[in-house]
Chains A and B, each alone.
Chain A
């Protein structure tokens, strides 16, 4: 490729000299090494500019979609390190179908949306940049119908759409992101740097986002769920169930990282009363209960 480029330049120079009447054998004595040096110099400059651009993008809050997905994959792998997936193919496929259907109604349908139920008794759900979302079994088992599952997934999808976690990671782990993105993605160094990024990023999930982002994800989530044909009021049902759990141990992280449930219910209720006008509330398709009954039976039998 490089040689082809050099040959092209050479041919152009040759014809140029011909047309201009400067033809002499000296014009053909081309310094190949010098050319090579120039190419190397150009490449180094390009790399330097790329790094500077990345630094500038990071400073101004821009991360490419490719990098966002890369960061998100690694961060979710950290959470999977804390709690693995529930070993049930049907359950995992089910949550992916419901989740992707909602994501298709969002502003970023092109992301590699990936969902999972993780094996933890804690009640929580997490979203990672690039479209990676997990719900704990502790939360999943509290859901009564598909609309309620959709309401949780739509809330998390909204965090991804709005890049809430990506922004938070950028704020706290600028150095780590830059380190991980600056080296070749397949190298050992990259893995080490990514590990450092994961370590610093997962802290956000223990600390929580800005509470305004949670209200924002509630607001956008109910609309996404309604767009996908689900009952948008199902989120209020879920919040009410969670509120009834009170100060249980399994709620500790959730309660620390989210605004008070009472406030979320009041804010959402008022907002939906004033601005959400849906003529007909869709009936639930009863798919969640049907599937859960067979899962529960299989588990008890096994």
Chain B
């Protein structure tokens, strides 16, 4: 009896509010999925924002994903983001653009150790009203002490190269891309 009531509760929760999706990545915007990493290849599926996927491989600006039903397809890289998300049905249907992306990013950055309390702006609140709204930029007066402080953090070539090596960053030669029409 107890078990049945528990099952019923579980079912009701599942149907009415949120879905907890367990996967290592999520589709963040409604998108077509392709057979190969090219928009010229046939479209195989259409995925809604919030669809859980597993990233299998990557080619340029494309990611190959495994969808829950086991099928493989290619999607534009930026339309998939690492992480699992709790997404409401309402959010899922809200125009196909995942509005919770910013909170997902904030969480992924690791800067927030809990949902409510982040890396706060309170620590310098004593200085007064600060910010970079249009009005505040226009009224800004030079802060030379802060400039000198900023310059004290400047890195040296040697230190930077050691840092890059530690992060396994390899410098490569690459020519600049041609101008797009937007720049003409």
Contact = CB atoms under 8 A, between A and B. Distances in A.
Interface of A: 73-74, 76-87, 89, 92-93, 96-97, 99-101, 104-105, 112-116, 118-122, 124, 132, 134, 136-137, 140-146, 194-195, 198, 202-203, 205-206, 211-212, 215-216, 219-220, 222-223, 226-230, 233, 236-237, 239-241, 243-246, 252-253, 256, 259, 263, 265, 267, 269-273, 275-278, 281-282, 285, 287-293, 295-297, 299-300
A299 B100 CA distance: 24
B105 A241 contact: yes
B69 to A, nearest CB: 25
Given A143-B105, A212-B182, A236-B61, A206 B134 contact: yes
Contacts of B141: 78, 81, 195, 198
B179 A228 contact: no
A82 B110 contact: no
Given A104-B160, A233-B61, A82 B108 contact: no
Interface of B: 28-29, 58, 60-61, 76-79, 81-82, 97-102, 105-106, 108-114, 117-121, 123-124, 127, 130-134, 136-144, 146-147, 149-151, 153-155, 157, 159-161, 163-164, 167-184
A227 B175 CA distance: 9
B134 A253 contact: yes
A282 B179 CA distance: 25
Contact of B123 (A87, A92, A211): A87
A220 B176 contact: yes
Contacts of A285: 167-169
A226 B111 CA distance: 25
A252 B155 contact: no
Nearest to A84: B146
Contacts of A206: 134, 137-138
18 contacts: A74-B142, A93-B153, A100-B155, A115-B153, A141-B119, A144-B82, A144-B105, A194-B142, A215-B182, A223-B175, A226-B174, A229-B171, A230-B169, A233-B77, A236-B78, A240-B28, A288-B110, A289-B109
A219 B179 contact: yes
B146 to A, nearest CB: 4
Contact of B136 (A82, A145, A220): A82
A227 to B, nearest CB: 5
A239 to B, nearest CB: 8
Contact of B138 (A113, A202, A241): A202
Nearest to B79: A240
Contacts of B79: 240
A229 B111 contact: no
A244 B99 contact: yes
Contacts of B134: 206, 252-253, 256
A191 B81 CA distance: 49
Contact of A80 (B150, B168, B178): B150
Given A244-B101, A252-B133, A300 B113 contact: yes
Contact of A142 (B82, B109, B130): B109
A148 B110 CA distance: 14
Given A120-B132, A215-B183, A229-B171, A77 B78 contact: no
Contacts of B178: 271, 275
A289 B143 contact: no
A252 B135 CA distance: 11
Given A85-B149, A237-B78, A281-B58, A212 B183 contact: yes
Contacts of B173: 227
